[in-house]
Amino acid sequence: MSETHILPLYPRPGDPEPLHGLYLRHHLLDRGATGHPFVYSNYVVSLDGRIAIEHADTGRYGPPQPITNARDWRLFQELAAQADAIVVSGRYLRELAAGTAQSAFPVSTGPGFEDLLPWRVEHGLSPQPAVVVISGSLNIPFERVFDGGDRQGIVATGADADPERIAAIEAAGGRVLRTNPGREVNGGALIDALGDAGFRRIYVIAGPVVLETVLRADRLDRLYLTHSHRLLGGTKVDTLLEGAPFPDAPLLTMRQLWYDPPGAESPGQLFACYDKPE
Ligand SMILES: NC(=O)c1ccc[n+]([C@@H]2O[C@H](COP(=O)([O-])OP(=O)(O)OC[C@H]3O[C@@H](n4cnc5c(N)ncnc54)[C@H](OP(=O)(O)O)[C@@H]3O)[C@@H](O)[C@H]2O)c1
């Protein structure tokens, strides 16, 4: 099988299909409606369940190098290309401003992604998705990151957030959504507020605290998971979720599965797509 292709396994095994365009072919533009957004997320995870490890040299957590790869990254960007808004964390914004983040906001315009912004324009989307930053502390360098760019910046926080920090974000051109009482953002109130703001497809690209926020409110419609065929071990790690156990152990059903055999660009991986049951 050519390295440009992957093997469909489920719902039925089939002929190899091109990796390039795999998630664009999911037609997420058909999903979501005004006031009822479609919410999706995507992670690359090791066989032992890690999405991030502490990097010993910096003490910061980040995606483990052995499991990140260009093939998964292409699909991550294809999902971003279909979003009206991406959701990131306050921590990520701090790392972006400090120059220590793993990457810039998607959609990438770099080599290998030249087709994605034209694809958005062709399909009537804004040139880039809006960025929604979730933060309780509001200790975020909003003006340094958004600095007069053409990307819409929104901050979601609780009603008790620091008014001076809210004023500073608004003075820098940001929009602040005070979604619910308290300082922490409730997932249901967040998605409702973003739906009311007109976003139809919301791509959650933050880590385990934000994912837990959305899942606890039962507002995640689809989860894309790249299962990398590597084991990482370690104890200073992040897994998909933080927080208290879910009393009802939410169920996701497998929608599709592909096998990406080992090659020059990856150790071998499965691309899985899970949906919230109807
Ligand atoms: N392997 C993968 O595919 C993958 C994908 C995504 C992320 N990651 C990794 O996961 C790790 C953690 O990511 P992350 O820090 O971006 O995400 P996170 O752990 O989900 O978010 C943490 C930060 O987001 C804010 N936050 C989260 N939920 C909130 C809520 N309900 N209300 C108010 N604020 C809330 C807080 O910001 P404030 O402190 O500003 O209040 C908090 O510090 C990173 O190492 C990242 O690289 C891996």
| Structural domain boundaries, residue 188 | 5-275
Which atom of ligand 1 sits closest to the CA of residue 92?
16
**pLDDT digit string (tens) for the chain, length 278 residues:** 788 999 999 999 999 999 999 999 999 999 999 999 999 999 999 999 999 999 988 899 999 999 999 999 999 999 999 999 999 999 999 999 999 998 999 999 999 999 999 999 999 999 999 999 999 999 999 999 997 777 899 999 999 999 999 999 999 999 999 999 999 999 999 999 999 999 999 999 999 999 999 999 999 999 999 999 999 999 999 999 999 999 999 999 999 999 999 999 999 999 999 999 98
Hey, whose CA ends up nearest to atom 36 of ligand 1? 135
Q: For residue 146, report the phi and psi dihedrals to the nearest 5 degrees.
A: -95, -20
The 10s digit of each residue's pLDDT in 64-75 is 999 999 999 999
How many domains is the chain partitioned into structurally? 1
Residue 81 Cβ < 6 Å to ligand 1: no
Question: Is there an atom of ligand 1 within 6 Å of 187 CB?
Answer: no
CATH code where residue 149 lies: 3.40.430.10
Ligand 1 centroid to residue 21 C-alpha, Å: 28
